[in-house]
Amino acid sequence: MKMTQKATVQDGTDDTAVVDPSRSGLGPVELELAGVNKVYQARRGRVEALSDVNLSIRRGEFISLVGRSGCGKTTLLRILSGLLPPSSGSVTANGQSIWRGSARNDEALQQVGLVFQEANLFPWFNISDNISLPLKLRGVDRKARAARAEELCELVGLRGFEGAYPRELSGGMRQRAAIARALSSRPSILLMDEPFGALDALTRDKMNLELQSIHAATGATVVFVTHSISEAVFLADRVVLLTPRPGRIRSVTPVSLARPRSADTEASVEFQQIVRGLRVELDEES
């Protein structure tokens, strides 16, 4: 199935293009949202958070979700992660329904890892034990857990800090540990809710480069929530822009920038062109 998407051209106007999401290098559809709605019943009345969200995400794809505060980005991620049921619509992972009514399907969620804005590491566990905790809960033996934690510390740049405690690490290093923990059970899907939002600008830029390498090394499908358009474009294969409440998909913008991307990528004409187009769309939602 082909999806019509808007590609922003340099003069700021919009040109309609047909983009095939089955482009080379990506696998079959891994995540599918069809007609997803979310309504809250608050004291002040009915609040419609999401309305008719339809999106197909292919295996190995990196999707960034952007939009103004309150547009439903985190709500959408919580639905995908099994933390919040949709009011209606279907959500599937590898063909399995994540939700059966208001009950989540834990089998479908076995291949899903989740990273929050805060690292949320246990202060009484060292980094190795924090990273391998999901494996411990699954009954994996200590030797195998330690070996996996060591492997992941190497992947995320924490080699030599396996025995350190969270209080001994910087914010960026703690977030690396949180990413490693989410990857401990080798999930095929990684959901990330503004994981670098609390970091300073320089650390955030470094973490974006690291995340790009982690994505390449693991081949995971990533759904990444951010308020930063530049960050969204730098990381993504496609940027999904949500409208203010109720959250609907306004546009899906392909990012064809070559990988791996470096700090110089942000200075390119193509990068700036994509960012500019998304900012124009965002301003139109004011």
Separation of alpha carbons 26 and 166, rounded Å: 36
pLDDT at 15 > cutoff 60: no
- Other Cβ atoms closer than 10 A to 278: 23
Average pLDDT rounded to a whole number, residues 255-264 = 93
Q: Which run of H or E residues covers position 252? A: strand 249-254
Spatial contact of 210 and 241, defined as CB atoms under 8 Å apart: no
pLDDT in tens, 76-129: 999 999 999 999 999 999 999 999 888 999 999 999 999 998 999 999 999 999
- Spatial distance between the Cα atoms of 59 and 127, rounded to a whole number of angstroms: 30
Rounded to two decimals, what is the model's pTM? Answer: 0.88
Domain ranges in the chain?
A: 28-111+189-202+217-286, 120-186
- As beta bridge partners, residue 279 has none
Cβ–Cβ < 8 Å for 80, 56 = no
| CATH number of 28-111+189-202+217-286, picked from 3.40.50.10420, 3.40.50.150, 3.20.20.150, 3.40.50.300 | 3.40.50.300
Beta bridge partners of 254: 238
Under 8 Å CB-to-CB from 68, ≥6 apart: which residues?
Answer: 244, 282, 285
